[in-house]
Structure 1
Amino acid sequence: MNLHQGGGTTSAPLMSERKVSLIGAMLVAIGPVSMALYTPAMTEIVHAFGTTEAAVKMTLSTYFAGFAIAQLFCGPLSDAFGRRPVVIGFMGIYAIASLIALFSPTIEILILSRFLQGIGAAAGVAVSRAIVRDLFTREQSARIMNLIGVILSIGPAVSPTIGGLMMELAGWHSIFFLMLGFGFLITMVAKFAMVETAPNRDPSRASPKGLYKAYSTLFRMPYFIGTAFIMAGTSGALYTQATVMPFVLMDRVGLSPTQFGLGMLVQSGTFFVGTLTVHFLMKRVKSGQLVPVGLSFIAIGSISLLLILNTMEPSFLRVMLPSATFAFGIAFVMPFMMTASMAPFPHMAGSASALTGFTQMSAGLLGGVICALIGDPVVAMSFVVPGMGAMAVTSWLLWRRLPEPAQRVS
């Protein structure tokens, strides 16, 4: 299924592919890095606040909630007022939230600060994808999405390791100090290195009527909804695993926070290898041809989790190898599907990117809630993650039969 070439100018883009890839990766990474840095400290925070695992899990759930909800607003805001001011404003919220988390006196304040962190980090995903759509289309866009994935995979890959080491050396507070620095760095990049790319900025797009028009247009298009569900079932599964994996590997398998951080390199490293593989293959085949390959790996990982965790005691390899296979497949799926989700909407790319991101994070939030309701983290992981993989495969089988819509210009 080919994507339409945007009907724009042939002049040089405002920013190069490399610059967009680097800035886009930084913007996208702030969300998962803020999650991955934090996960090794979750069991320690239970003891630090004298609270329960359920309460500490809420710090992740509320982060997902803030991230998901805020995307519905920061995307249209970037269409209305521009990409740069939205990034700067939301990164300010993220930095303030990190400061509150650093000095949280109670678990309730920490939960609130994580919710605000999610709100601030939300702009990164929505705006970065919109910038790519502003400047590039077709295989060029998919190639940049892949390059963003290559760079992005490094941050979450090393973040659990860094988080585990920092927690053991300087306590869990040091993790939020590092997040504060990240927020300041991205704000400076947005202010001094990012070029405004939003076409035809119109403040009316941020009005209730403008929001309704944008989202009602997207919701009426099965083509768009299909892309959103495919990505929700893939990356949403990773977010779900982030809420349950620490309790599987540290409480049930017996890893220390540092061992857990190092162990997560297997999953993140496999995703990194996948993105490099896709980067190599995209020079020879179109990105859309790689999607069924990736979904095959996702299916293998899902079935393996379902069978292994329901028939054997969990061990590091029994958990991580299926999870790594799943992550490897995601790298094949995301570049094309992210490009496809925004291709028909050049003048409301922020809204399309935001709604896609909302479905991804909402899937992760819903998966985490279901895992919490199940209670047993091993049982939860063995059913919820494979279920999301099945949703992604099924959605793609239905979506691939849909005609590609004409490009919308208003």
Structure 2
Amino acid sequence: MTKTISAGMSARRTAIIGGLMVATGPLSLTLYAPALPTIVDDLNTTDAAGKLTLTVYFAAFALGQLICGPLSDRYGRRSVGIAFFAIYVLGSLVAAFAPSLEVLFLGRFIQGFGVSAGVALSRAMVRDQFVGAEAIRILTMVNLILTVTPAVAPTLGSVILLFGSWHQMFVVMAGFGLAIVAMLGTNARETLPVAARIPFSPRVIFSNYRALLSAPDFVFPALLLALAFSGFHSFTALLPFILIDDMGLTPFQFAMAMLVQTASFISGNLIASALAARMGGQRIITLALALLALGGLGFVVLPMLFPHSVMALMVPVGVWMVGLAFIGPSATATAMAGFGSMAGAAGALTGFFQVGGGFAGSLAAGTLFHDAQTALTIMMPLSALVAIGLTWIDRSRVRKSAT
């Protein structure tokens, strides 16, 4: 059932503003992905340390949402968004002028904390106004806008690297953050009425999070998000080292290969948007799990059949991204559906699970395996298998409670 809750902003404006806010997160990943090997060389460090710049970012991203969400429940989405994206700009500038790995870690941490507002607030803004199939449709529109950034960012990053240094990539990120601040200040409307706001206090925050974490209807779809995005961020951290270091691609060739990922995500979102009006979120999630299983298997089989083939890696990446496009909006809408009175906290906690999955995936990819290819062939099918098992347990629980 579709229901519109308020008319603070139109569906289109909500999707555009939410999509641009969320896009800042992948911009901060994909713009400098082609430069990771260069950063390792310039700072005289190791591949593992280079991958940890992703891990630090994810850790701050995940933790920042737990603060951002409750703040927005108290002070509104718009003002909190402006404050957090200003923090993101500061972190980008720190990273831009980083003379050492330690300062780069600091800049990435500040960036991750500030950009956490994108996921948490975009979801809260949708939940403030829409539920049901309409919410899924708008979240899918957000994802469509989101795909523009990873489509352009790796190519832009490789061009910057050709004519400048990786430091300038972070200046570009700072400029994007300033644009978001300006957009929120001039074009966004507040979606949370003053009467609906709740106090910002440790007792209320812990009470809300405890209620969410004790509700299976929230926890199971949130865990599914974590697993799906864990796989995504695992290969995000690993592919630059496999394709550039091991296979010898140039940064520009790497960016061209990553267009497979972007095209697949765009296609998946277009299909998911059409399916949202015809079938429920649970059926879409079932299709997504089948795609994750197929993609996970592909990461194991195709590189064995076609060693040293770029497409042997990018085909399973594409399949995984279509599945991810299916899972994201449906699992998010399902998790938040029953928690409109604490939409900021619910949006933050779904984001925490999603980005926490990315943190765990990138950390495991960078530290638990002796090489990137081994990490890829173990982690991807494992993530898919656990996601399928988790969904089976959840649906068994729902069937038992209904009888």
Please state which band the TM-score falls in when normalised by the shorter chain: over 0.9
1:392 aligned partner = 387
Identify the match of residue 115 of structure 2 among 104, 112, 121: 121
1:344 aligns with 2:321: no
1:382 aligns with 2:373: no
Identify the match of residue 177 of structure 2 among 160, 175, 183: 183
1:19 aligns with 2:13: yes
1:208 aligned partner = 202
Q: Is the 8 A contact 2:303 2:309 kept in 1?
A: no
Q: Is the 8 A contact 1:82 1:201 kept in 2?
A: no
Aligned-residue offset at 1:285: 3.2
TM-score by length of 1: 0.93
1:330 aligns with 2:324: yes
Aligned-residue offset at 1:311: 6.5
Moved more, 367-376 or 223-232: 367-376
1:62 aligned partner = 56
In structure 2, C-alpha distance between the alignment counterparts of 1:24 and 1:400, rounded to whole Å = 31
1:51 aligned partner = 45
Runs of at least 5 residues in structure 2 that lack an aligned partner in the other structure: none
In structure 2, C-alpha distance between the alignment counterparts of 1:375 and 1:64, rounded to whole Å = 22
Q: What is the letter of the counterpart of residue 382 of structure 2?
A: G
Q: What is the letter of the counterpart of residue 343 of structure 1?
A: A
Q: How many equivalent residue pairs?
A: 397
Aligned-residue offset at 1:235: 2.0
In structure 1, C-alpha distance between the alignment counterparts of 2:111 and 2:171, rounded to whole Å = 13
In structure 1, C-alpha distance between the alignment counterparts of 2:390 and 2:344, rounded to whole Å = 23
In structure 2, C-alpha distance between the alignment counterparts of 1:94 and 1:152, rounded to whole Å = 18
Q: Tell me how large the CA RMSD over aligned residues is.
A: 1.7
Moved more, 96-105 or 302-311: 302-311
Aligned-residue offset at 1:147: 0.8
Identify the match of residue 91 of structure 2 among 91, 97, 110: 97
1:266 aligned partner = 260
Q: Is the 8 A contact 1:232 1:392 kept in 2?
A: no
Q: Is the 8 A contact 2:291 2:322 kept in 1?
A: yes
1:240 aligns with 2:231: no
Identify the match of residue 358 of structure 1 among 333, 346, 352: 352
In structure 2, C-alpha distance between the alignment counterparts of 1:336 and 1:104, rounded to whole Å = 39
Runs of at least 5 residues in structure 1 that lack an aligned partner in the other structure: 405-410
Within 5 Å, give how 1:175-324 maps onto structure 2.
175-199=169-193, 200-202=195-197, 204=199, 206-309=200-303, 313-324=307-318
Aligned-residue offset at 1:282: 3.1
In structure 2, C-alpha distance between the alignment counterparts of 1:266 and 1:207, rounded to whole Å = 45
Q: Is the 8 A contact 1:274 1:329 kept in 2?
A: yes
In structure 2, C-alpha distance between the alignment counterparts of 1:32 and 1:311, rounded to whole Å = 31
Aligned-residue offset at 1:367: 1.6
> Residue deviations 1:245-287, cap 9 Å, x none?
1111111121111111111110111111111122233343344
Q: What is the letter of the counterpart of residue 390 of structure 2?
A: S
Aligned-residue offset at 1:309: 4.0
In structure 2, C-alpha distance between the alignment counterparts of 1:304 and 1:203, rounded to whole Å = 47
Moved more, 247-256 or 387-396: 387-396
1:407 aligned partner = none
Is the partner of 2:212 in helix, strand or coil?
helix
Is the partner of 1:357 in helix, strand or coil?
helix
Q: Is the 8 A contact 1:81 1:201 kept in 2?
A: no
Is the partner of 1:111 in helix, strand or coil?
helix
Identify the match of residue 157 of structure 1 among 127, 148, 151: 151
Aligned-residue offset at 1:353: 1.2
1:35 aligns with 2:29: yes
In structure 2, C-alpha distance between the alignment counterparts of 1:142 and 1:283, rounded to whole Å = 9
User: Matched residues, percent identical?
Assistant: 37
Is the partner of 2:31 in helix, strand or coil?
helix
Identify the match of residue 169 of structure 1 among 160, 163, 166: 163
